[in-house]
Amino acid sequence: MIHDLCIIMLTAGIVSLLFKLFKQPVVLGYIVAGMLAGPYMFGQSWIDDSEGVEMWGEIGVLFLLFSMGLEFSFKKLLQMGSTVLIAAGTIVVGMMSVGFLSGRLMGWNEINSLFLGGMLCMSSTTIVFKAIEDMNLGAHKFAKVVFGILVVEDLFAVVLMVLLSSIAVEQKFKGEELLFEIGKLAAYLILWFAVGIAVIPTFLKKFRRHLNDETLTIFAIGMCLGMVLLAISAGFSSALGAFVMGSVLAETIDAERIEHLTQPIKNVFGSIFFVSVGMMINPDLLMTYWLPILIITLIVIIGQIFFGSLGTLLSGQSLRISIQSGFSLVQIGEFAFIIAQFGQNAGVTDEKLYPIVVAVSVITTFLTPYVMRMSAPAEAFLTRHLSRGTLLFIDNYSQRFGTVKTDSMWKSYLKRVLAKIIVSSIVCVFIYIVYFQYALPFIMARSAWVETFMSPQAAQITLKCIALALLALITSPLLYNIVARHRMSHEIKQLWQKGDLQRAQITGFYLLRIIIGIAFISYALFRLFTLTTGMLVVISALAVFFITFSRFVRGQSKRLETSFSTNYTAREASAESNRAMSGVFVSHLLPYDIHIADFTVPADSSFGGKTLSQLNIRQQSGVSVIRIIRGGIRTNIPGGGKHVYPGDRIVVAGTDEQIDRFTQMLDGSRIDHDESVSVERTHVTLATFTVDASNPLVGKTIQQSGIREQAECLVMGIQRNGKYIMNPEPTISFMENDIIIVAGETGKLQDFLK
């Protein structure tokens, strides 16, 4: 084991270093390292236990998906609206269809073709992030759109893995089973997201002062592996569990800290996973299947450009943003490897598919930066050759789609209440399953002890009543959310006064909520007691009436909702002080071809001390300075007389070209030092001196001596009678024969000692 780990780490480290020197993605270096260490390159493997490496690789997959989950946010996904959903949906459907058809045209069977389509429909989040960062394009508007698309694709990849695993087991399509799996997955995600947000942030907040880096790291990994076990027990993949726990922790204020702490672990095991991917590549197979590799590579590049640009255009973005987005998504990556490895391990895909997909990923990853640079010429070409009417139609469509729409009062009310009903119902179902499977048998097993006080029949009834009361206590706040939350809200009162149609809708919706509540209570009664249908309905209706008007239940429900809401918004509230502009302001800019960018003035910038009028930012770059943040104090719409200092955050609004010009302007403001000129360097050093009888410091306190103010030196300590007084108080007096320890800049210290 140690031998194998040594070979993997050394090979991966050396090869990835070479790839860094040549400015290539480090992931490619890991894959090449795997090819070198694998059994195909030199006729025999350097690795003794390939099964052990595969096991480490599976752990690497868990940490990769856990890390992706930490960067993912269901809340941000909901806030992104339809733009990224339309764009990502177009890409996924289009690329899956093209991939499946391409596989069938090449003579592959349905399962191989389906897996191929699944691998081709998702771009590499890691590679795209790295390429945009290396090309300094993070401040461009298209980068935010691309990041949103990748977030949706990551979520879809998790769903796809579940569906492909179901198909792999059945070896065929079953529509009803796939729909069941999708519904089961949705319920699983909602359940654990709701439970996680309700419990985990509260726990972390309560024990935060005890959670040092070591403890928090162990706790985070433990929660990740715990969710993995829950996912497996629910019939899902281990990767889904890791992703879900990461996404839950992403909503806490400790998300960045957890991500930072677990990054080294992800790097180690992630590198092992990519090395294990490379070990499975046979160069001879690559030569044999060079034609499918070439075809699929062209499909990925052309298909992603077409569907990425089309989807982004349909989502309401401009032609330029759409083309830039499409040209940024021309690769496949991590999830393609995971899906390919799953298909091969499950024995449902041919041996050739894995190395083909890895080869395509390597080629497209290498070409990504070069393809991204082609977006500007492509946009210029289309602008020249598209008719004026077409360009005008695209501009009008983008503006209409980007217009902020307001929902009607009824629609807004339904959205808010339905979300609570669905979440509360799913959590109730989970509680019922756990309760009747584990808690109820435990309670009923106490019958022998209760029978010592009463008859067996009375003992059974008593225990069942206790079980029912306990279940009601646990679920009553959730049932209140289902049947009565926002029952008499301000919106309902206004809607009720608008006419008979609105009243009928309100009444029908409220009756539906009551029926759901009665169904839950009736099921509990049915499992515990033998009652007629009429009695079940009557008792359940009375219970619903009690829940609706009980102050205790309403208070418990309110506290639960308040706690959940606080946890849900904690990270956003914590980051509010560091946010350049409010989300409302940014959303209002969506219909226009400008966006917000945030810059920090460098310490060596020539901007320092100048006013905005002197800098002439608007005339030179075209951007508008809308805010300056200094020490947490915000100056909105600063005037021309406002000074700029190093460390200030300048928030500007402009187009991509204007922001690029301002970036160049700010970078060009750095003051270059002439290295040929000798610059005196100052250092802080320590020195000691002895206070003799003739020294004027004798009898004076440190404060009276003026050492700090006049000599700009600091008294660090006094050695007196063989003992040290370190960091002495300013009121301590110097005495004869004291040895004084002082600190200061070298030159000033020497002057003082003289």
Residue 537 and residue 414 in one domain: yes
Residue 656 and residue 691 in one domain: no
Q: Is the pLDDT of residue 600 over 80?
A: yes
Is 613 inside any structural domain? Answer: yes
Is 421 inside any structural domain? Answer: yes
Is 167 inside any structural domain? Answer: yes
Buried b (16+ CB within 10 A) or exposed e, 714-750: bbbbbbbeeeeeeebeeeebbeeebebbbebeeeebe
Is 526 inside any structural domain? Answer: yes
Residue 519 and residue 416 in one domain: yes
Residue 662 and residue 702 in one domain: no
Which of 607, 641, 667 delimits the end of a domain? 667
Which of 509, 543, 572 delimits the end of a domain? 572
Is 676 inside any structural domain? Answer: no
Residue 520 and residue 651 in one domain: no
Long-range contacts formed by 663-666: CB under 8 A, 24+ apart: 663/136, 663/139, 663/599, 665/617, 665/620, 665/621, 666/599, 666/601, 666/602, 666/605, 666/607
Q: Is the pLDDT of residue 683 over 70?
A: no
pLDDT value at position 677?
Answer: 44
Residue 552 and residue 440 in one domain: yes
* Separation between Cα atoms, residue 464 and residue 163, nearest integer Å: 40
Residue 107 and residue 32 in one domain: yes
The tens digit of pLDDT for each residue in 549-560 reads 888 988 888 888
Question: Containing domain of residue 271, as a range?
Answer: 2-280+341-350
Q: Is the pLDDT of residue 71 over 80?
A: no
Task: Indicate the pLDDT class of residue 302, thresholds 50, 70 and 90.
Answer: very high
Structure tokens at 134: 């290396």
pLDDT value at position 402?
Answer: 56
Region 576-590 average pLDDT = 55
Residue 94 and residue 163 in one domain: yes
Residue 296 CB: number of other CB atoms within 10 A?
26
Q: Is the pLDDT of residue 366 over 60?
A: yes
Residue 238 and residue 99 in one domain: yes
Residue 640 and residue 748 in one domain: no
Q: What is the pLDDT of the chain when averaged over all its residues?
A: 81
Residue 155 and residue 217 in one domain: yes
What's 606's domain CATH number? 3.30.70.1450
Task: Give the helix ranges, DSSP H, for 139-174.
Answer: 141-170
Is 66 inside any structural domain? Answer: yes
pLDDT value at position 679?
Answer: 44
Is 382 inside any structural domain? Answer: no
What's 50's domain CATH number? 1.20.1530.20
* Separation between Cα atoms, residue 610 and residue 615, nearest integer Å: 7
Residue 222 and residue 84 in one domain: yes
Lowest mean pLDDT among 40-54, 532-546, 627-641, 706-720: 40-54
Structure tokens at 668: 């060009």
Within the chain, what is the greatest distance between any pair of CA atoms?
108
Region 40-53 average pLDDT = 74
Nearest to 354 by CA among 112, 80, 618, 33: 112
pLDDT value at position 573?
Answer: 66
Is 538 inside any structural domain? Answer: yes
Q: Which residue has the higher pLDDT, 533 or 81?
A: 533
Give how many domains the chain has, as a whole number.
4
